[in-house]
C-alpha cells in the first residue's frame, strides 16, 4: 500500500529517555503523586496550591531536559515527508517543538501555557503560575495550568478525527494505551483502512489492535522506523 497520510500519536514514553518521568511510574504515581491528586478538576478545586505547584515544578524541569533521538527523528520526518502528516502528542512537555516538529498538536494541553477558567483564553506561559493569577485577557484572577484533566475534553478532537479518517498509516509511540480517547485512535484508524504500528517499550493495553508491534526504547526504534518510511519501504 502506498502511504501518503501519516498520523502519529506519542505519549510519555517518547520523553522518558530525555529524563522526563512517565505517567505511571513506580507504584502508579506521577512524580510521587497519585494521578487523581494532580490531574482532576476536583483536585484543582480542593487544593489549588498543590496542583499549581505540581505543574510549576514540571514546567521548571523542562529547562534541564533535551529532545532525544526519537523527537529528533520525528522532526526529520516532519521536514522531509511531503505527504500528509499530523503528530498528535499527549505530552505536555515542549520537546517535540524544540526538536523542530511543526505539524504537531498537544491534545492534553501544554506546561508552557496558561488557561483562563473565566474566559477560556490560552496564553503562553514561561514562569510560575500561582493560583489566582490575573488573566491577561479578561483580568479575572482565574488562570490555571493549561492541562486537560481527567473528565475534560481534549483539544482539537475534530481535527484529529479528520486526520485519522484520511490516514494510510497510524503509528503509536510510547503510550500505555490506558487513557481515552487517545487509546481508541488505533481503532478509528483501522476502521478507515489505515495500517497500524505500535512502538513501545513493552506491550500496551491496546497492543492487540495494532497490525504490527515493535518493542524497545523509542530512541532506538523511532529513527529506524523513520528511515524506513523515508526510504519508501
Ligand atoms: P504512560 O506513562 O501511561 O505510559 C508510557 C508508556 O511508555 C508505557 O507503556 C511505557 O512502557 C512506555 N515507555 C516507557 N519508556 C519508554 C521508552 N524509553 N521508549 C518507548 N516507550 C517507553 O503515558 P501516556 O500513555 O502518555 O499517558 C498519559 C498521560 O500522561 C498523558 O495524558 C500525558 O499528558 C501525561 N504525561 C505527560 C508527560 C510528558 O509530557 N512528558 C509525562 C508524564 C505524563
Ligand atoms: Zn480570562
Ligand 1 nearest atom to the CA of residue 17, by list position? 18
Beta carbon of 178 within 6 Å of any ligand 1 atom: yes
Give distance in angstroms: CA of 120 to centre of ligand 2. Answer: 6
Contact present, 173 and 150 (Cβ < 8 Å): no
Over 90: is that where the pLDDT of 31 sits? no
Q: Let me know if 108 is a catalytic residue.
A: yes
Contact present, 118 and 138 (Cβ < 8 Å): yes
Beta carbon of 206 within 6 Å of any ligand 1 atom: no
What confidence score (pLDDT) does residue 178 get? 87
| Contacts of the segment 19-26: beta carbons below 8 A, 24+ positions apart | 19/64, 19/65, 20/61, 20/65, 20/91, 20/93, 20/95, 22/176, 23/176, 23/179, 24/176, 24/178
| pLDDT tens-place string over residues 170-210 | 999 999 988 899 999 999 999 999 999 999 999 888 899 99
| pLDDT tens-place string over residues 125-160 | 999 999 999 999 999 999 999 999 999 999 999 999
Question: What's the mean pLDDT when you consider all of the chain?
Answer: 96
Report which protein residue has its CA nearest ligand 1's atom 37: 91
What confidence score (pLDDT) does residue 26 get? 65
Residues, CB-to-ion distance under 5 Å, ligand 2: 116, 118-119, 121, 135, 137-138
Terminal Cα-to-Cα distance of the chain (whole angstroms) = 10
Give the number of residues written for the chain.
233
Mean predicted confidence (pLDDT) in 29-47: 92
What confidence score (pLDDT) does residue 63 get? 95
Number of other CB atoms surrounding residue 2 within 10 Å: 6
Going by pLDDT thresholds of 50, 70 and 90, the confidence category of residue 104 is: very high
Mean predicted confidence (pLDDT) in 202-229: 95
Contact present, 164 and 188 (Cβ < 8 Å): yes
Which of 221, 158, 218, 166 has its CA nearest to residue 11? 218
Mean predicted confidence (pLDDT) in 60-74: 98
* pTM beyond cutoff 0.85: yes
What confidence score (pLDDT) does residue 233 get? 67
Amino acid at each position: 500500500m502506498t502511504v501518503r497520510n501519516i498520523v502519529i500519536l506519542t505519549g510519555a514514553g517518547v520523553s522518558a529517555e530525555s529524563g522526563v518521568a512517565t505517567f505511571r511510574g513506580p507504584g502508579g504515581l506521577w512524580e510521587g503523586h497519585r494521578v487523581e491528586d494532580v490531574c482532576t478538576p476536583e483536585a484543582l478545586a480542593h487544593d489549588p496550591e498543590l496542583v499549581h505547584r505540581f505543574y510549576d515544578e514540571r514546567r521548571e524541569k523542562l529547562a534541564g531536559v533535551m529532545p532525544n533521538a526519537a523527537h529528533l527523528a520525528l522532526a526529520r520526518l516532519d521536514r522531509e515527508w511531503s505527504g500528509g502528516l499530523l503528530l498528535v502528542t499527549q505530552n505536555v512537555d515542549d520537546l517535540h517543538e524544540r526538536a523542530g516538529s511543526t505539524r504537531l498538536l498537544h491534545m492534553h494541553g501544554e506546561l508552557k501555557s496558561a488557561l483562563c477558567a473565566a474566559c477560556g483564553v490560552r496564553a503562553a506561559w514561561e514562569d510560575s503560575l500561582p493560583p489566582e493569577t490575573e488573566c491577561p485577557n479578561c483580568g479575572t484572577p482565574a488562570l490555571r495550568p493549561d492541562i486537560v484533566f481527567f473528565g475534560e475534553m481534549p483539544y482539537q478532537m475534530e481535527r484529529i478525527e479528520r486526520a485519522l479518517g484520511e490516514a494510510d498509516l497510524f503509528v503509536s509511540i510510547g503510550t500505555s494505551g490506558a487513557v481515552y480517547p487517545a487509546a481508541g485512535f488505533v481503532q478509528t484508524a483501522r476502521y478507515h483502512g489505515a495500517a497500524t504500528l505500535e512502538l513501545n517499550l513493552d506491550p500496551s493495553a491496546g497492543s492487540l489492535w495494532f497490525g504490527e508491534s515493535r518493542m524497545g526504547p523509542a530512541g532506538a526504534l523511532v529513527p529506524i522506523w523513520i528511515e524506513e518510511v523515508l526510504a519508501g519501504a
